[in-house]
Amino acid sequence: MGCPGSSGRSVSRKGLLSNIWLWRGITAVLAAILIFIWYIQYVSSSKAKDVPVCPSLEVCPSGWLYFQRKCYYLSENEANWNSSQSHCSLHNASLLVLENQQELSFMMKITKQDPWIGLYKRNEKFFWVNGKALDKELVEIKGSGDCAYLESKGVSASGCCLTRKWVCSLNISSAP
């Protein structure tokens, strides 16, 4: 038999050691949970960088249409060519500048009543309001006027003082 004092020490040591292992176990579990949370956050943030960002549904001003990275405004009122261009300018836009055949086809489908577009004659040649010369492969102008409008069969020109509806266009990169 041992001394009563020695067995008491031995029991308290076992209790103390078992508490240390308990705390070490809890610490290991907590560390594993923290590492797991960090990993989940890291993986989700790295995947988020790979996902393409879709444009906001409100890329165009209210009342404007969206097509191929441009916004379009179809006027309700009529004005001469210069006033129409001024109205578009108030919205950081211009009269419609056609850039490709798809845009031309789209605009011919949705416009009515032969609206003004951003094409005008200078020194017997047509230019867009952005300064680029007309690409005759894109569109052929009918009529003998100085300002162009879109009709169901293509583009025509008439006198700039006539009043018509108009179409403004705004590139998304310059939209507010």
**Residue range 39-82, pLDDT digits in tens:** 787 776 655 455 555 555 568 888 999 998 899 999 999 999 99
Is the confidence at residue 176, as pLDDT, over 60? Answer: no
When pLDDT is cut at 50, 70 and 90, the band that residue 16 belongs to is low
pLDDT of residue 165: 97
The mean per-residue pLDDT over the stretch 17-34 comes to 79
**Tokens for 27?**
């610490």
Please tell me which residue, 3 or 68, carries the higher pLDDT value: 68
- Taking 90 as the threshold, does the pLDDT of residue 152 lie above it? no
What is the predicted pLDDT for the residue at 25? 80
* DSSP code per residue over 11-75: HHHHHHHHHHHHHHHHHHHHHHHHHHHHHHHHHHHHHHHHSPPPPPTT-SPTT-EEETTEEEEE-
- Taking each continuous run of H as one helix and of E as one strand, the counts in the chain are 3, 9
CA-closest candidate to residue 147, choices 119, 105, 113, 125: 119
